[in-house]
Structure 1
Amino acid sequence: MPAETHFFPDSLKQTLRGSLVAALMAVLSACGGGGSGGGSGSSGDNNQPPIVPAPAVLVLSGDTSAEVGDSVGVVASVSELGYNRFRWEQLSGPALGNLAGNGTAGISFDAPFRGSYRFRLTASSPTGEDLVDTFDINVDAGSSGSSVQLRADRAVSEGAEFSLRLNASNYSGEVTSWGFEQISGPRASLNEDDSGQPILFVTAPKVTGDQVLTFRGTLETTTGSFSDIAYVVVQDRPEVTSEYFCDGTGDYCATTSPLNPVYSYRAQSPYGDRLAACVYSNQLGDDNFCTLGQLPVIGMENSAPSVDLIMDHVLVSHDWMGARFERFLKELDPYGDFANLLRATTAIVISSDIRPSFYWSLTGAIYLDPESLWLTPEERDVINEQPDYRSGFGSELRFVTPWRYVKNNNYAFASYYPADRNSRPFSDLEADLGSLLYHELAHANDAMSQAKINRGLDRQDIFFNQAQSGSVVNKSVSAVNGLQSEQLFALAEVRYRGEPATLEQRTYSPQDVAGFFFPDTATDFYAYVTPWEDTAMLFEETMMSLRFGIERDVAVTNSPTSPTSADDFVVYQGQRGRIGAGRIRARASTAVQWLLPEAWASADAHLQSLIPVALCSGEGWGQNLNPACEGQSGLLRFAAPQPSGAIPMPTELPRSFLPPTRF
């Protein structure tokens, strides 16, 4: 049952939060009319009392009653811009533990037990004002035992894209259909997933103040209908003025969607909310880039940065993202690789709206998709499931170039289907987040190498100018057995940048593409996008092999029309541990030498010990987890492709991209 509660702060004396909020408050407080020529700031009557701004108002909306097993949510709207920290506390009821939505204006949880639950929210502004209120939910045992859950209630920015997934448990009968509808609030754009999963993709409307939207998901079965409601608060955001974080598809945009509100994970960070203004702001422009004096590169502060120092540079959209990143650095960085690589960054941004991850040489920050950090299904619920915008690129091509990480003839990290609601062990992050960080931080150290930092940086200048003041690492790597295939350079524009394929490219067979790729010196097809990606792929694969004993598979396969199994992708030619090939290992060694000098000696020795293994030609991608064949044309181990339901469908999309800049 939905309800709203309102809270008005005791004091009416509100401090104005910057010019935009001041302008908004002036409009709100001048509703009774203005002066007629009495001078600036005057009503024309000196005896008239000053106009007092209206107090900020906090409104909580959500379910006041539910049954055990229901997905329950509470969201907050604030009448005034500027509140960017939201702390939820459970005051009563069966203990829920950490709330995945903490840090944002919306929480959601599955009610595990009957009882009366009470929550307190404290919304805080950068200038120290707090708004506080409580919300009560009564959970009964219920009678039917059947339920569906529309996950997850949350807070989003106006214009943002997000997803809601409908889950069902203990329902009777056979499922006949499902559907979604918006039942209140300003109209959003709705699209259902075309892959046959019960997911709703939503584009939030533009709003002039925080607005609560409600959505209903309904499951139809042969014995009845079951539904659930989700609450989403769409937060008013400052006007988009940046040429770089753009609402659109401009040439210089780092993202095509409006930005989530983010905040410094460490409330007492010396950079505070300046972090967001410097690297994740809708107002970022040529006239307000932060200097290295305002936000230094981490390596300028200490050549051996501690985890505490690094965490002062972390921005998050949810508390758990910062907590998980901190734990990863403390427990899964035994060699200090990631701490050393983070010397080249100004900030680490982790937000539910980042997809895919990227590094940006304009700001010196890395931007991480939290898909590599979640451990619980509740954490995963707040991550946007919208498909990667590159998913349809190159669909007319006749080949696929899948990749994966393997260890002991098995996947190095597991694939978890969201509907199964599984948790995963913290140890999974070693390979998942580790490989992502090796890649993104390769970009960071390519632009701002340790050699540049050691020479000294001008604190009065912006990051980009200082990064461009010397040579980038990828030039040195490209000078060693550089890539040659003009066909693959052109095909990479189709697959990864969305260029239309030519008639000739549409006729290339897997045999043709394998003939282009394997004689050349790239470790992955993605290397042909830019020298930056070539260098990052070399470094990532080398470090994963050196530190974790994890090897990378790459192959060229057919492109099946309607695959039902990973083995529908038949390998024409493939290789495991390609990083150890004779003409490639020298390139990889050069990359490590300049990107992470501390690891160079051990990496170079390790590369000399590697011997690539051929995948089995003519066998499926899943069957090739254990490539026990003789060379590329050995006898097949299976008379026919076998089902491999436990093996995920292959992907050729990288988890990272480099946004263009105008420079």
Structure 2
Amino acid sequence: MAASLEHVLTTKALTARHLLRAPLGIIALSLLTACGGGSGGGNDNDNGSLPPITPAPAILTLTGDSSAEAGDSVGIVASLSELGYNRFEWVQLAGPDVGPLAGNGTAGISFDAKFSGSYRFQLTASNADGDQQVETFDVVVNAGNSAARAQLRADRAVSEGASFSLRLNASDYSGSVNSWRFEQLSGPIATLAEDDSGQPVLFVTAPKVSGDQVITIEGTLETTGGSISDIAYVVVQDRPQVTSEFFCDGDGQYCAKSEPLNNVYSYRDDSPYRDVLADCVYSNQLTEDNLCTLGTLPVIGMTSNAPSVDQIMDHVLVSHDWMGERFERFLGELDPYGDFANMLRATTAVVISSDVRPSFYWILTGAIYLDPDSLWLAPEERDVISEIPDYRSGFGSALNFVTPWRYVRNNDYAFYSYNTASRFSRPFYELEADLGSLLYHELAHANDAMSQGRIRSGLDRGDIFFNQSSSGSMVNELVTAVSPPLSQELYDLAEVRSRGAEATAQQRAYTPGDIAGFFFPDSANDFYSYTTPWEDTAMLFEETMMSLRYGIERDIAVTNKPTAPTSADDYKVSQGQRGRIGSELIRPRASTAVQYLLPEAWAAADDHLRSIAPVAMCAGEGWGQNLTPACEGQSGLLRFAAPQPSRAAPMPTERPRSFIPPTRF
């Protein structure tokens, strides 16, 4: 849709080289000072020099909804006249309590004004030098009426050139929604593209700016009861020029990110690494010349062999406060065996940012990068997470089969996907399986690259992480030596499914039965294992640990590819298996992975693997029906007499939640 620049006519107002560069985003202004002065009222400028120049102070401007009605979504964003301000703390000073602000830590907040009253918010913006700018913003919320409301979620701060999403919700409306539309109302022109999934979601690419600029975008729903609209405020932040050879357009062999990165900051304000974390692991100016040494940012295991939660959190970068709070709580309450704390010894940092999708580990920096979709609890937190699809979403679309997976416990899903439009909250305990499985996977990569034995043997603080991690053999090499997967057909298909290679005529002709014939006699526990030996090792470890620690089993199957599915049971299982990790061909490989990735758990894991008996899924039945795969020796009638889950089975997914960016070294 073409963007309009009309004014907003609403009540919404106003081997390596080791040079470490200065912190990303900080522009140092040299202050010229006069040395010495005459006595007795002499003129300091008698020598012909110019008077000292005092730079103009940074200007902080708040823009947003100065008035609203109860039920409206309210937003406030901040723009600054100088680069370098990367820490933002919002405090509510007056008005009915709006609860935790999901945008805290950023230059933009949003909340639902449930009650009328006079609200006041204060923002303190800080830079690495300790300079602060403080401003307040008042919002008057009137009682309004019970009319329908639209909410375009969520007002926010983004980097110039970055992509993000806005979802249009509605409340208290009767009838049905006939259509919707989006339009930019003010500010430098952004690129707008509507989601093609049939939902009122807008994908936006922010414009390039020469200084922080605010754009406003309006979303309108046409309902049977009339038209309702809302406006989102987005501050596009000026960022340093992208100079990194490792963050590029996606067509290079060592690209890690295809667009400008979010503003991130050290979660712990008093972290000893506060001023170097972002430069070392999440900088668009990262080059071969300024990769950080282990003296500047050590792996956590160099500080302690039994790191505390506090020590770990010193290495955490976030884009929003709640992400760090949630990760800290997870480590404190849902890591009873210490697995994650022990495995985090191999990392230099943990980055949690709303623009990370999918999660990944990068051997160049030694950090793990987490998609916060595995950490949210409240819909307001989910609002700030980009809904832009995983870049691999279209890969393999020409293939004629699906390879779904899921985690199950007691014949039900271990954790569920939640419809974003429904604005559900979810309980904290669900993070055990969701975030737990993701961490086991990413930390498998980290410990594959930097084993505990290598850390204990001593690392050179004057060297960069990559050189030290590459100085010995990788764990995945040891795992591969134990009966590696052999199906060349599946290795070739992995190029299509994971890297976007074009499918051949033969690959497009493969049936689900063909794929099952390649996979189930082989020694991989998941189709993603054929992508790289790194992923093979991580998948073995992840499934083993989820079974050992949580009693959660993994289902893997090959199904048909329905053209217009309406339920999970439209996906008919050609062949599938639960607990594949326990099969005789795979069990020794999984045991080897645990032995070297998490030695503390090896004895228990090896015993546990011997107790797992794989269960065959019911061929010809739906993916949802196979939550209880007790079909062997039973008639169809008895089979379907089994209790069905209380909630509808979600559509199956085959997309992994992780990837490893290639590195050129």
| TM-score of Structure 1 vs Structure 2, range by shorter chain | over 0.9
Which residue in the other structure is 1:385 paired with?
A: 387
One of 528, 542, 547 as aligned partner of 1:540? 542
Mapping for residues 258-277 of structure 1, pairs under 5 Å? 258-277=260-279
What secondary structure is seen at the aligned counterpart in 1 of 2:62?
A: strand
Is 1:290 aligned to residue 292 of structure 2? yes
Which residue in the other structure is 2:448 paired with?
A: 446
What secondary structure is seen at the aligned counterpart in 2 of 1:139?
A: strand
Mapping for residues 609-648 of structure 1, pairs under 5 Å? 609-630=611-632, 637=639, 646-648=648-650
Q: CA deviation at 1:22?
A: 5.0
Contact 1:566 1:644 in 2 (8 A): no
Q: CA deviation at 1:454?
A: 1.0
Is 1:3 aligned to residue 13 of structure 2? yes
Which residue in the other structure is 1:10 paired with?
A: none
Mapping for residues 95-494 of structure 1, pairs under 5 Å? 95-494=97-496
> Whole-Å Cα distance in 2 between the matches of residues 542 and 156 of structure 1?
39
> Whole-Å Cα distance in 1 between the matches of residues 125 and 586 of structure 2?
54
Contact 1:565 1:643 in 2 (8 A): no
Q: CA deviation at 1:47?
A: 4.2
> Whole-Å Cα distance in 2 between the matches of residues 376 and 554 of structure 1?
30
CA shift digits 1:72-110 (9 cap, x unpaired) = 000000010000000000000011121000000000000
Distance 1:20 1:216, change over 3 A: closer
Contact 1:176 1:222 in 2 (8 A): yes
> Whole-Å Cα distance in 1 between the matches of residues 330 and 161 of structure 2?
32
> Whole-Å Cα distance in 2 between the matches of residues 47 and 388 of structure 1?
59
Which structure ranks higher in relative contact order (CA pairs < 8 Å, sequence separation ≥ 6)?
A: 2
Contact 2:153 2:166 in 1 (8 A): yes
Which residue in the other structure is 2:38 paired with?
A: none
Contact 1:616 1:631 in 2 (8 A): no
Q: CA deviation at 1:466?
A: 0.3
What secondary structure is seen at the aligned counterpart in 1 of 2:55?
A: coil
Distance 1:613 1:170, change over 3 A: same
> Whole-Å Cα distance in 1 between the matches of residues 601 and 370 of structure 2?
24
Q: CA deviation at 1:143?
A: 2.0
Range 171-180 or range 495-504, more displaced = 171-180
Which residue in the other structure is 1:661 paired with?
A: 663
Q: CA deviation at 1:631?
A: 7.2
Distance 1:106 1:523, change over 3 A: same
AA partner of residue 63 (structure 1): D
> Whole-Å Cα distance in 2 between the matches of residues 542 and 401 of structure 1?
20
> Whole-Å Cα distance in 2 between the matches of residues 102 and 193 of structure 1?
27
Identity among equivalent pairs (%): 74
AA partner of residue 397 (structure 1): L
Gaps of 5+ in 2: 1-10, 15-21, 33-44
Contact 1:115 1:138 in 2 (8 A): yes
> Whole-Å Cα distance in 2 between the matches of residues 647 and 228 of structure 1?
34
CA shift digits 1:187-234 (9 cap, x unpaired) = 111111111001001111111110101000001012311000000001
AA partner of residue 572 (structure 1): S
CA shift digits 1:372-430 (9 cap, x unpaired) = 00000000000000011111101110111000000000000122111111110000000
Which residue in the other structure is 2:18 paired with?
A: none
Contact 2:23 2:275 in 1 (8 A): no
Contact 1:240 1:247 in 2 (8 A): no
Q: Which runs of 4+ in 1 moved over 3 A?
A: 17-23, 631-639, 642-645
Contact 1:74 1:107 in 2 (8 A): yes
Distance 1:20 1:592, change over 3 A: closer
AA partner of residue 369 (structure 1): D
Contact 2:526 2:539 in 1 (8 A): yes
Distance 1:217 1:19, change over 3 A: closer
Q: CA deviation at 1:50?
A: 2.4
> Considering only aligned residues, what root-mean-square deviation do their CA atoms show, in Å?
2.1
What secondary structure is seen at the aligned counterpart in 1 of 2:586?
A: helix
What secondary structure is seen at the aligned counterpart in 2 of 1:76?
A: strand
What secondary structure is seen at the aligned counterpart in 1 of 2:311?
A: helix
Q: CA deviation at 1:638?
A: 5.4
Which residue in the other structure is 1:51 paired with?
A: 53
AA partner of residue 609 (structure 1): S
Contact 1:99 1:107 in 2 (8 A): yes
Contact 1:580 1:610 in 2 (8 A): yes
Q: CA deviation at 1:247?
A: 4.7
What secondary structure is seen at the aligned counterpart in 2 of 1:84?
A: strand
> Whole-Å Cα distance in 2 between the matches of residues 119 and 626 of structure 1?
52
TM-score normalised by the chain length of structure 2: 0.93
